[in-house]
Structure 1
C-alpha cells in the first residue's frame, strides 16, 4: 500500500484533523490487518472513566457492558478499580472469564428468565433489579440469596433513548412492590432509575433523585426497612455532532442533589456510552465509486449493517475524516458526495450530501466517536464480515498509542 499522502477533513461536524502519528498508525494498521478496522484505545477508556469518577466523587461507577462488551475494556476498567453492570448471562460469562470479582457487579435487567437469575447467582452476583410484581415473584425461591433494587420510571423524550418507556414503575407501584417484598421476606436494598441515553440536561437526574429521596422517606414512614442504595443509571452525554456540557460542570447539580440523601445511602451509577464512545476509531476503505444524479457515490467496505449500525439504532452522527493514500495529483475542489456501505440494501448509507474532494478506490474514511453501539450491534449481513478490532494500550499488551 502506498504511503499516506494527504489527510482531509471535510465533514460538517468533524472533530478535527488527524495528527501525523494517528495517520501513520491508521495506515500501518490497515497494511497489517486490512480494512475495515476498529481501533480501540484503552487509554481513552481510562481517561473517560477517571473523568466521570472525578466528577461524581461520591458515586461508585459500574460500567454497563452493553455499548461495548469487549474483553479489553473490561480488563482495563477492572485494573482501574471499576465495578460492572450486567444484564445478560453472556455478560456474566465475559466478566467471569476476565476475573472480575462477583461482588463488584450488579445485574440490572428488569426482566429476567429464571436461568438468567441462576447464572448470575452461580457466579456470585446477588443484586438485581425489578420493576413489577411479576418479576418480584421470580425471586421467591432465592429470597435468602438476593438483594433487589426497584426501578422507577422517569420519562425523557429529549434523550436519544427514553428507556423509561420500556422499563420502570411509578412511585406508587414501587411502594406496593416494596410492601409485597417485605411480606414475602425478599430484601429490597434500594431504588434505581435511568433518565435516558445521551441525556443533555442534568436537571433530569436532579428531579429523579429528589423523587427517589421522597419515596425513601415514605418507605420509612410506612414502617418498612430503610433503603440503603440508589442507582442513578447512565445516560451521561458525549459530543457527536455538537458540543455537550463538560462532565465536571454537568455533574455539579447532580452532586448537590445527592448531598441531600441520608449518609447511609450508597450511590452507584451505570455509565456506558460516556466511558467508551470516544475510545474507538473506525477505518473503512473505498471499494468503488459511481456518479449518480450529480453526486459521487463512494462505496465503503463498512456500513450501517456493520460498524455504522449506530446510524440506524442509536441516532448518532460520527465525525468523519478522509485519508488519501496515493500521491498522484487530484483536485481538492469539493463536490457533493455520498458515503454508502457495501451491502446490496439501498438504506445502507453512511452519509448523504457530504462535501468531499475527489477520492480514489482504496482511500480511507475514518470515523471518530465510534466506541458505543457500533461493533456491539454490527452484523455479518450479506456475508460482509464485521470490522476487525485492533486493541491499543491494553493492560495485557504492548501496543502503540492512539489517543483520539
Structure 2
C-alpha cells in the first residue's frame, strides 16, 4: 500500500473552528515522512491526532486497573474524534461543564456512562447535566450540597476529599476537596436534607510521580466509609480515585502496570461491593497528538539563529506557560551540523518563545518543526491572539479497522 493510499484511508481534517518511555507508549507514531506529506497536503500549522494512540493508552490503563471504570476527563483534549474513539472502546466520561455535556451528547454517549465532577457549579450547570441524563455530581462543601435540595429526587452525590500532594505538578487538592471530618459532616447533613450520597472521590494531582499518595488517599477513604457505617448512615457504594497518572515528557515515569500495582492492593482492601471509578485525562491523550509548525522567518540575534514559527505560546504551545510541558521538539530536517537556536512563536509578544535554546540544523523558511506528546492541554487552551489562527486538526486512524500508519 502506498503512502498516499494510506493517508487517503486514514486521514480526516477537522476545521480549527470546530476545535473549541514505558510500554504504554510503545506504538508506531506517524513518521517525519508522513508528517511532511500531511503538511504538504493541508498546510501548517497542524495538530495531527492519532486515534490509535488513544486506544492503546486507554487499554493500557484499563489493564493496569482491572475492575476500575475509566471515565475519560474531557478537559485536556475535548474533541469529537476523541469522544467517538473512546466510546467505541467502551469508555465512560467525566464532565465538568455544560459545554462538555453538549459535546458528549452530540456524539451519542449514553448519559449513564457519564459523571459530573466539577466541585463548584452554577444552577444552570446542574440543570443542563440533569436534562441530558447525567445524575452523579461532586461536592466538597455545605454550600454546594445545598444546591441539590431542589434536585434531591434526581441527583446522587460524591463527596470529594482533599489530599495535598507537593510532588504532583498540579496539586488539585489545594483548590478543591475537604477533610475526612468535614466529609462526615456533609454526609450527615445530606441525610437530614434527603440528598443521596453515593460515595467519595479524590484527585491526587496531575503528573503524580509515584502511587504513594493514591494509596494514602484510598486508605483514608476506607476509614470514612467505615465511619459512615458506624454512624448508621446509608452505606457508600462508590469511590472515585481521580486521575493524575503520569506520562513521560522529558523524564521517564514508572510503567503504568508497575505504577498501579500498589493502588490495586489498596483497592482490594475495600468492601467487595464498592464500585471503583477513575478520571484519566492526560494519560489517555498526551501521546496522541503531534504538532507541525513551519518556519516563517529567521534572524541572527546574539550569536543564535532565531526561527519564527507559525505556531507558538498563544497557540498549540500554550502548555509551556502553565503545564508540565517539556515537549520533545525537533526539526523534520535531520541532516547537517546542529547549532544552538531559538524557536519563537508568530505573535508580536516578546514572551512568545517556544524554546530559547535548542540544537537544530540550519533551516530554511518553510522547513518544519515537529513536536510530539502534545495531546494534553494544548489545543484545549490555544487562542487566536494577534489573529493568528489556531492549528488545523488532522485525524489519523479514527476507524478501528483503518490501515495504521507504519512507516
Q: Could you say which residue in structure 2 is the equivalent of 1:334?
A: 338
**Secondary structure of the corresponding residue to residue 45 of structure 1:** helix
TM superposition shift of 1:348 = 0.7
User: Residue 41 of structure 1 contacts residue 402 of structure 1 at CA under 8 Å; is this kept in 2?
Assistant: no
Aligned residue number for residue 225 of structure 2: 216
**Structure 1 unaligned blocks of 5 or more:** 1-12, 326-330
Q: What's the offset of the Cα at 1:402? A: 4.4
Say which SS state the counterpart of residue 332 (structure 2) adopts: strand
How far apart, CA to CA, are the structure 1 residues paired with 2:254 and 2:347?
37
Query: How far, CA to CA, are the matches of 1:403 and 1:177 in structure 2?
Result: 53
> Matches of 1:67 and 1:118 in 2, distance apart?
24
1:393 equivalenced with 2:397 (yes/no) = yes
* 1:313 counterpart residue number: 322
Instruction: Write out aligned runs for 1:194-213 (5 A).
Output: 194-213=203-222
In 1, Cα distance between the equivalents of 2:29 and 2:163?
Answer: 46
Query: What's 2:152 paired with?
Result: 143
Distance 2:328 2:75 in 1: 22
Residues 1:399 and 1:366: Cα distance change in structure 2 (over 3 Å): farther
- Which residue number corresponds to residue 286 of structure 2? 277
Is the contact between residue 311 and residue 350 of structure 1 (CA under 8 Å) also seen in structure 2?
A: yes
The yes-or-no answer on 1:378 pairing with 2:382 is yes
CA distance in 2, matches of 1:138, 1:174: 16
Q: Structure 2 CA distance, aligned partners of 1:160 and 1:215?
A: 27
Q: Stretches of 4+ moved more than 3 A in 1?
A: 18-21, 398-404
Residue 207 of structure 1 aligns to a residue whose secondary structure is helix
Q: 1:246-269: CA deviations, max 9, x gaps?
A: 000000000000000001110000
Distance apart, 1:313 and its partner CA = 1.9
Under a length normalisation based on structure 1, what TM-score does the superposition of the two structures give?
0.92
User: Contact 2:180 / 2:224 at 8 angstroms: preserved in 1?
Assistant: yes
In the TM superposition, what is the alpha-carbon distance from 1:324 to its structure 2 partner? 2.8
The answer to whether 1:74 aligns with 2:83 is: yes
Contact 1:189 1:227 in 2 (8 A): yes
Return the alpha-carbon distance in structure 1 between the equivalents of residues 337 and 135 of structure 2: 61
RMSD over equivalenced CA pairs, Å? 1.9
Change (3 A) 1:20 1:359: farther
Q: Which residue of 2 aligns with 1:177?
A: 186
C-alpha distance after superposition, 1:109-153 (max 9, x if no partner): 000000000000000000000000000000000001111000000
- The Cα offsets for residues 268-295 of structure 1, whole Å up to 9 and x where unpaired, read as 0000000000000000000111111111
Deviation of the 1:333 alpha carbon: 2.2
- How is 1:11-90 mapped onto 2 (pairs within 5 angstroms)? 22-90=31-99
Structure 1 residue 32: deviation in Å? 1.3
1:349 alignment partner, one of 340, 350, 353: 353
- CA apart distance, 1:22: 1.6
- Verify the 8 A CA contact 2:28 2:405 in the aligned structure 1: no
| Deviation by residue 1:225-266 (Cα, 9 ceiling, x = unmatched) | 110000000000000001100000000000000000001110
The alignment partner of 2:195 has SS state of: coil
Tell me by how many angstroms 1:392 deviates: 0.6
CA distance in 1, matches of 2:28, 2:275: 43
* TM-superposition CA deviations, 1:291-310 (whole Å, max 9, x none): 11111111010011111111
What are structure 2's unaligned runs of at least 5 residues?
1-20, 22-26
Does structure 2 retain, via aligned residues, the 8 Å contact 1:324–1:360? no
Q: Distance in 2 between matches of 1:86 and 1:205?
A: 22
Between the two proteins, the alignment pairs up a number of residues equal to 383
Contact 1:40 1:391 (8 Å CA) reproduced: yes
Measure how far apart 1:24 and its partner are: 2.5
Q: Deviations over 1:185-229 (max 9, x none)?
A: 000000000000010110110000000000110111111111000
Q: For 1:399 and 1:51, locate their aligned partners in 2 and report how far apart those are by CA, in whole Å.
A: 21
The answer to whether the Cα contact below 8 Å between 2:28 and 2:406 also exists between their aligned partners in 1 is no
